[in-house]
Structure 1
Amino acid sequence: MEPDPWPLAPELPRPVIMAQRWTDAVFLHWRVPRPVAASFMPVGVVPDEFDGSAWVGLIGFRMQGAGVGRGPGIPYFGSFNEVNVRLYSREPDGTRGVVFLSLDASRLAVVLAARAAGIPYVWSRGHFRAATPDGSVGYSVRRLRGGEGSDFAVVPQFDADADDPLSVHLTARFGLHSRFRGNTLYIPNAHGPWPLFRAELTELEDELVAAAGIAVSGPPDSVLFSPGVHTQFGRPRVL
């Protein structure tokens, strides 16, 4: 397989509908069989494989300054911690995306608005665990209904850039595929390359991947950290 350098984000369809910053991102990924991932794909897309496997991710980050269009971030509601479980998708023309299985967040208004648009947000309590004396950062989340939760932490290795093809494959994603009123939507976004670093896993007690319907075992096959990027979302399209 040819190395896949960081791609440039496609031109964002106008108008810009939302802008936000994602910071302190922790990426944990496991291999999963293609048929497992395929069962979660919306109509019109298939699992986007790498090295013969589909991949499921458990991702934690801090949403900061989310706002409508190019305007300023919405006070309070525009900043929160998020933990999501996601798979990776591909259209027949090669367009890559993300399929979210769940997104846990603490802002009820955001959860309700996103669910109305077909994005599976879940209302949860969670917090970001800032750098400790050993340098670890992480996230802790607990759902208000059902009680499932996740606790994970990593120590970023800032002297070890993660620019290998797998790391790029898992993070160079410029849109999401979702189901909405019987249709498959693609919602594009654009951002620069993640500043990506390898990381050492120091803690993992997770129930969210299993709650989404996917069984994984053992430590993640990929562990990454990024200080973050600024991103914009453009006009959705129907497949």
Structure 2
Amino acid sequence: MKLIYDNAHRPYPIPSDYWIMRQAWRNLLFIHWPISLEKVRQFVHPSLHIDTFDGDAWLGIIIFEMEGIYPRGFPSISIIPPFAEINVRTYVHYNGKPGIYFMSLDVGDLASLTIAKRWLHLPYKHSHISIQKIGKAFYYDSIRVKQTNPQIICKGSYSPVKDIFFPIEGTLDHWLTERYCFFSSNKRDNLYCCEIHHDPWPLQQAEAIIKKNTLFTPFQIDISDIQPIFHFSKGVDSLIWNIKKA
């Protein structure tokens, strides 16, 4: 696959073993808030260092459509129908390697959730999620299946504005998006790393309306007075390697 050979933009080399699947991520909204390191420290594995940019840690909500998951050797056959996903994440590094740490991942496909939760050791949550395109705008609506007080809801709309750009290394845009692994942990507190690869993100500035967001409520993090920044991407195809102990 040509994708694996386009790797000069990566901060470290492609893994030497075989990737196991390709995922197609489409129509993404990146929402980010700067936040103090101390507010996220307790939710991240103790072996990981919180990554900061100009002294700030960052929280992200990423909303997107999973167009397909394609096992190695089956380039045109997805093992799942398309579904929407919303994840909450922050940024970390481990032994000098920058990565992503997921605090929650809401998905509507229960089969994918069950398999991925056990395999990847990630905090998946079952939610009813829809993303609908009307004109140039995307409308998203998510409500977590498990009843809580308050109910965990994420609802709003977004649309791309301005031209596509590729973020320059050293900028905040690049720092927030160009990451090529994620870390997770199991109930025994073992730390894992999953390598990923994709082309550089084609980003656009975005306009967005957040009608309701309680995704941070389980963490008792208040972002109501913090102005978020928005990015849109039409998407990338990504290669995924098998997860390993870090």
Of 151-160 and 139-148, deviating more is: 151-160
Runs of 5+ in structure 1 lacking a partner? none
**Cα deviation, residue 160, structure 1:** 6.2
Match for residue 214 of structure 1? Answer: 221
Percent of aligned pairs sharing the same letter: 28
Match for residue 158 of structure 2? Answer: 154
Supply the distance in 2 between the matched residues of 1:119 and 1:167 (Cα, whole angstroms): 25
When residues 78 and 48 of structure 1 are mapped into structure 2, their CA distance, relative to the original with a 3 A threshold, is farther
When residues 235 and 160 of structure 1 are mapped into structure 2, their CA distance, relative to the original with a 3 A threshold, is closer
Corresponding residue SS for 2:140: strand
Match for residue 4 of structure 2? Answer: none
**Cα deviation, residue 10, structure 1:** 3.1
What whole-Å deviation, never above 9, does each CA across 1:212-238 have from its counterpart, x for those lacking one?
Answer: 442212464320000000001113332
CA contact (8 A) 2:34 2:226 kept: no
Match for residue 128 of structure 2? Answer: 125
What whole-Å deviation, never above 9, does each CA across 1:5-44 have from its counterpart, x for those lacking one?
Answer: 9545630342212211100000000011111222122132
Match for residue 69 of structure 1? Answer: 72
What whole-Å deviation, never above 9, does each CA across 1:36-67 have from its counterpart, x for those lacking one?
Answer: 22212213211110111000001100111202
Corresponding residue SS for 1:130: strand
Q: Give the TM-score, by structure 1 length.
A: 0.88
Of 70-79 and 161-170, deviating more is: 70-79
CA contact (8 A) 2:164 2:202 kept: no
Match for residue 141 of structure 1? Answer: 142
**Cα deviation, residue 126, structure 1:** 0.8
When residues 112 and 235 of structure 1 are mapped into structure 2, their CA distance, relative to the original with a 3 A threshold, is closer
Supply the distance in 2 between the matched residues of 1:163 and 1:235 (Cα, whole angstroms): 28
Supply the distance in 2 between the matched residues of 1:130 and 1:62 (Cα, whole angstroms): 11
Supply the distance in 2 between the matched residues of 1:38 and 1:9 (Cα, whole angstroms): 26
What whole-Å deviation, never above 9, does each CA across 1:179-213 have from its counterpart, x for those lacking one?
Answer: 02431001010001010011122333101122344
Query: How many correspondences in the alignment?
Result: 232
Runs of 5+ in structure 2 lacking a partner? 1-7
Q: Give the TM-score, by structure 2 length.
A: 0.86
Match for residue 182 of structure 2? Answer: 176
**Cα deviation, residue 81, structure 1:** 0.5
Within 5 Å, which residues of 2 pair with 1:16-95? 16-72=19-75, 75=78, 77-92=80-95, 94-95=96-97
**Cα deviation, residue 102, structure 1:** 0.8
Supply the distance in 2 between the matched residues of 1:56 and 1:90 (Cα, whole angstroms): 15
**Cα deviation, residue 120, structure 1:** 0.9
CA contact (8 A) 1:12 1:190 kept: no
